[in-house]
Each structure stands twice: as structure tokens, then as C-alpha cells.
Amino acid sequence: MDEPTLRKTVFDTLRRIAPEVTPADLEPAVPLRDQVDLDSMDWLNFLIALHDKLGVDIPESDYQKLVTLDDVMGYLKARCG
């Protein structure tokens, strides 16, 4: 999957959980949960939705690796081929 399509999928998924999110306002290197004010259930729902949309397994042991938008994008890019 190319990066623009992946980025759009991530933002569309995030907006379903936090409709107030404006992608242009997000800082790629700042913790995403802090920027969007996601609680742990919202964050889990976001990761599950990414799994469902992209078919990428995200084991619970990897959750701590996914902090910033850059982290999420890098993780998904490496697994979406």
C-alpha cells in the first residue's frame, strides 16, 4: 500500500473515533493520544479498527511501540507491504 493511501486510512480511522480530529493539526512526533485526547478504550478501538481495515496484526506486546503518528505510520508501512 502506498503511503498516501495508508495515511488516509489511518486518518479516516482516527476520525471515526475522534471526529474532531483535523489531520493538518496533528504533529507527527508528538504522542497521538495526547493530541487527540484518546482514553485507553478509544486507543484500543483505533488499533482494532486499523487491524480490521488493513489486515495487519497488532499484538498487544507492540502497543507500547505505537505512541506517535510517525510510530503508527512506520509500523503499518513495514507490515502492509
Residue 29 maps to which CATH number? Answer: 1.10.1200.10
pLDDT at 1: 86
The pLDDT mean for the chain works out to: 94
Q: Considering its fold, how many domains does the chain have in total?
A: 1
b (16+ CB within 10 A) / e for 28-48: eeeebbebbebeeeebeebbe
pLDDT at 81: 65
Q: What is the pTM of this model?
A: 0.90
Per-residue pLDDT tens digits for 25-53: 999 999 999 999 899 999 999 999 999 99
pLDDT at 67: 95
**Structural domain for 53, as ranges:** 3-80
Cell numbers given for 32: 497521538
Amino acid at 39: D
**E strand or H helix at 56, and its extent?**
none
Per-residue pLDDT tens digits for 6-26: 999 999 999 999 999 998 999
Q: Radius of gyration of the chain from Cα atoms?
A: 11
